[in-house]
Amino acid sequence: MSQKTEKLLSLLDGQPVIPVLKIENVEDAVPLARALARGGLKVIEITLRTKTALESIRRAAAEVPEAVVGAGTILDARQFDEAAKAGSRFIVSPGLSRELLSAAAGSEVPLLPGAITPSELMTAREAGLDFLKFFPAEQAGGAAFLKALASPFAGIRFCPTGGVSARNAKDYLDLSNVICVGGSWVAPDDLVKAQDWAGIEALARDAAGLAKH
């Protein structure tokens, strides 16, 4: 698992913000991925919250080679397998289960599972995972909670998502145990519906410019 964590970190390549995307219209997948990549956010997470999600992953992965396409909201082994076959280069889950751990162990695709409580963090650590999604970040206690975890869980790093925005992203990125954040603000629904790819590119560029420290 630790080797796969390093693989995931290398895919991120220092990117401070991962766009979390809910794509309703499959025709938006390719131009959206291209706009985000042009803005400097090549690593994107397409969530399995819509009927078009897997096809969106498939198209973006095949037609936008500059993008690193991952799948989010993966809840079980079947979804893990489907997303990997669609071309996902990493898998994101809101939580952690034995079934997901087993699926990840048998795959070359790295898993970024969600964990919040000390017990969940210890379970992930025992499985060899030290890069975790912290979700829902704001609702679970925000940057202050994550800061409190840094000392007892010194070897674990996080990607907070859930309530993270342009307004508070730096609060998280300034923490020593945060690698990056995930957020949907770089591709808001109104701009996607309007197919305002230039506007999304500009938001992505601003987000890519957020300094880690």
Which residues are annotated as catalytic?
Answer: 45, 133
Structure tokens belonging to residue 186: 């770089």
Residue 171 phi/psi, 5-degree rounding, is -60, -35
Burial environment of residue 75 by CB neighbours within 10 A (0 to 12, 13 to 18, 19 or more): middle
**Cα distance between residue 167 and residue 150, in whole Å:** 23
Phi-psi category of residue 54: left, alpha or beta, with phi > 0 → left and psi -120 to 50 → alpha: alpha
Structure tokens belonging to residue 140: 């679970």
Cβ contacts of 36 within 8 Å, gap of 6 or more: 19, 42, 44, 67, 186, 187, 200, 201, 204
Cβ contacts of 150 within 8 Å, gap of 6 or more: 175, 176, 177
b or e along 147-173 (b: 16 or more beta carbons within 10 Å of the residue's beta carbon)? Answer: bebeeebeebbbbbbbebeeebbbbbb
Evaluate whether 67 touches 36 at the Cβ level (below 8 Å). Answer: yes
